[in-house]
């Protein structure tokens, strides 16, 4: 179940991230301003974020065996629409990107599925491994521009649509929900509202907005940032972004394993502290070799580990039968945390001609998250051995 869920998460995230590597191409083709370009690469995050709330609640009710193949199949539609129909119109690109966010909602399907199949002492590691599926964004960064240059614009979209169709069939045939799982009663909307009022949901949402939100923001906007700030070619910027994403993905299960051993709170304090330090370094916009590269890779590692630690905490503190709903809301907060920064960075670049104030704001936000975690949540999510 873990392997199939991780595979589906990766393919759907690949679909979710198809527009970002081509942001510079669409910007030149459609003659977009910096703000319009920022909106184009950020808009898939909206549905991928907010859509996790109803999808998580529906997963609690109907199970992942229904929801995973259904959402995967539905995501084929916007993939083909963007690839074949929308490329000559900014309005159609925004529409297609908005619906393409469906692929990002699969996170709220996989977490309750994986969480249900593992005991509490192993959930941090299991959810961290599942989180490797966010490497679908790295696959997109590595492959999309190259496939487009070698074979044409339609090819990466066609390839992903075929993979989504194959996965939908595989998931329907193989995935199974845990026998005897808790099935909540009542409407999905009421469950989502009741879950949203839980203090732990609000706290986790704030932390995930910084941890995963920072990852999402960099994964969608780093190609544009590297091109504007350092004059890199689109291909070089995409490859460097892929390296950032790969390291963040690799560190997510590490964050989960460390949370099982040490507790999620110490891991979160340390990782947010690292992000604060190196975001401050990045705000100086030093040369990429070596200071800039080291700073971005350090942030990638810390953001990945923080994302794993947050959901290790979800697996421990979420009440039974609400993991999907909690995941949906927390995941939405993380996605929205990734939606705002690209728009802010685009606005700052248009105003100041550089990105230094935006990176300084990230440093401040990460520092506040570290302090809040250390003070307000120090007793939450003790290590598995203590539990």
Tokens of 73: 């199949």
The pLDDT value recorded for residue 277 is 95
Tokens of 298: 């350090």
Q: Long-range contacts made by residues 151-159, C-beta under 8 angstroms, separation at least 24?
A: 153/22, 153/83, 153/87, 154/83, 154/84, 156/18, 156/83, 157/18, 157/79, 157/80, 157/82, 157/83, 157/84, 158/80, 158/83
Helix 323-352, helix 107-117: angle, nearest 10: 140
* Alpha-helical regions (H) of the chain: 2-16, 23-30, 34-42, 44-50, 52-62, 64-84, 90-100, 107-117, 120-131, 136-151, 154-174, 188-196, 199-230, 234-262, 264-282, 293-317, 323-352, 356-376
The pLDDT value recorded for residue 84 is 92
Q: How many residues make up the chain in this entry?
A: 387
> Distance between CA atoms of 227 and 217, rounded to whole angstroms?
16
Tell the residue number behind the tokens 């001609």, with chain if given: 353
- pTM value? 0.76
Tell the residue number behind the tokens 């503190």, with chain if given: 317
Number of neighbours of residue 345 by Cβ within 10 angstroms: 24
Distance set, CA 128 to CA 177, 249, 278 (Å): 19, 9, 23
**Rounded average pLDDT per 10-residue block, the chain, 387 residues:** 95 90 84 81 80 87 93 96 90 91 90 88 86 85 87 93 97 92 72 79 89 82 82 82 86 90 92 94 83 90 92 75 78 79 77 81 92 81 48
> Distance between CA atoms of 344 and 297, rounded to whole angstroms?
22
- Nearest by Cα to 58 from 45, 49, 71, 47: 71
Instruction: Indicate the average pLDDT of the chain.
Output: 86
Please, what are the domains in the chain? 2-176+187-376 (1.20.1250.20)
Residues with Cβ within 8 Å of 368's Cβ and at least 6 positions away in sequence, in order, are: none
- Nearest by Cα to 349 from 227, 233, 209: 227
Structure confidence by residue, pLDDT tens digits, 61-119? 899 999 999 999 999 999 999 999 988 899 999 999 999 989 989 988 998 899 889 88
The pLDDT value recorded for residue 239 is 82
Reduce the DSSP state of residue 322 to 3 states and report it: coil
The pLDDT value recorded for residue 380 is 63
- Nearest by Cα to 330 from 151, 160, 206: 206
The pLDDT value recorded for residue 387 is 43
**Chain centroid to CA 320: how far?**
24
> Distance between CA atoms of 89 and 297, rounded to whole angstroms?
35
């Amino acid at each position: 179940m873990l392997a199939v869920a991780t595979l589906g998460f990766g393919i759907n995230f690949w679909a979710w991230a198809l527009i970002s590597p081509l942001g510079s191409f669409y910007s030149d083709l459609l003659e977009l301003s910096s703000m319009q370009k920022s909106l184009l690469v950020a808009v898939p995050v909206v549905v991928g974020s907010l859509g996790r709330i109803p999808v998580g609640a529906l997963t609690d009710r109907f199970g992942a065996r229904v929801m995973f193949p259904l959402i995967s199949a539905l995501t084929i539609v916007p993939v083909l629409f963007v690839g074949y129909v929308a490329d000559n119109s900014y309005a159609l690109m925004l529409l297609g990107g908005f619906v393409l966010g469906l692929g990002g909602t699969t996170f709220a399907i996989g977490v309750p599925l994986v969480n249900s199949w593992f005991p509490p002492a192993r959930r941090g590691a299991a959810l961290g491994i599942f989180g490797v599926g966010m490497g679908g964004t790295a696959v997109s960064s590595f492959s999309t521009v190259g496939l487009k240059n070698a074979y044409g614009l339609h090819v990466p979209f066609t390839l992903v649509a075929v993979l989504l169709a194959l996965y939908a069939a595989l998931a329907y045939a193989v995935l199974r929900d845990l026998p005897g799982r808790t099935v909540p009663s009542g409407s999905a909307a009421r469950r989502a509202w009741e879950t949203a009022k839980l203090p732990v949901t609000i706290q986790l949402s704030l932390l995930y907005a910084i941890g995963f939100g920072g990852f999402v923001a960099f994964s969608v906007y780093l190609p544009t940032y590297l091109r504007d700030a350092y004059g890199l070619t689109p291909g070089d910027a995409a490859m460097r972004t892929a390296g950032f994403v790969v390291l963040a993905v690799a560190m997510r299960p590490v964050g989960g394993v460390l949370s099982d051993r040490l507790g999620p709170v110490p891991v979160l304090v340390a990782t947010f502290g690292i992000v604060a330090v190196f975001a401050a370094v990045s705000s100086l916009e030093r040369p990429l070799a070596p200071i800039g590269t080291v700073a971005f890779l350090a942030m990638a590692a810390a953001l990945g580990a923080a994302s794993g630690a947050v959901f290790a905490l979800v697996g421990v503190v979420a009440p039974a039968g609400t993991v999907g709903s909690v995941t949906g809301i927390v995941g939405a907060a993380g996605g929205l945390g990734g939606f705002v920064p690209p728009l802010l960075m685009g606005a700052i670049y248009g105003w100041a001609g550089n990105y230094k104030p935006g990176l300084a704001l990230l440093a401040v936000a990460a520092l506040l998250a570290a302090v809040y975690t250390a003070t307000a949540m120090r007793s939450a999510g003790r290590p598995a051995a203590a539990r």
